[in-house]
Amino acid sequence: MFITIRCSGPAFLSALAAIIAGARGADACHNYYISINALEEAKQDEWSRFGSSLYYISSRKNWTESRQDCRQRGADLVIINTKEEQEFITNNLGSSRAWIGLTDTDEEGVWKWVDGSELTTKFWIPGEPNGHGHENCAVIGHRLGTSWSWADFPCNDRLVWICEKPLK
């Protein structure tokens, strides 16, 4: 791993000492860093890094069990905010469908992310969400042309799932 520190003098030494000590945050030079140990642990647990988050793709569970497992890992089901993040996830997912952190269980037709935020960026396949058969949880992994899109599925289906843990 390489870390670039963009300052000199006492501020450089302070930033370097903080990184070596495993500190998290930003210093006076506005260098942003995380614990090297945190990245090493993530690597060992097969987490993948994209932007400012770590992602973990795991075995088959229903939506609720998947979310519980993510929380035990200090994460939550993935919240997809950009086309780039959507592409990163689908590139790492392969041909599987996977749970994402999106549901309308509180109010039918009102889709919210697991952090309570409203759905703004959408990648639904045409005709979805349709709510057929009590489909209240979202999956990624429906092919639409050359890209992958979302659909709503019954929350009790057992699928692969994706955790997201922000790097702080």
pLDDT in tens, 102-141: 999 999 999 999 999 999 999 999 989 998 878 999 999 8
pLDDT, position 40: 44
pLDDT, position 164: 97
pLDDT under 70: residue ranges of the chain: 1-45, 146-147
pLDDT, position 22: 52
pLDDT, position 11: 57
- Total Cβ atoms within 10 A of residue 48: 16
134: left (phi over 0), alpha (psi -120 to 50) or beta: left
pLDDT, position 121: 92
E-state strands within the chain: 25-26, 32-33, 48-50, 53-61, 76-77, 98-103, 112-113, 135-144, 147-154, 159-166
pLDDT, position 68: 97
Domain 46-166 CATH class label: alpha beta
Domain coordinates in residue numbering, the chain: 1-33, 46-166
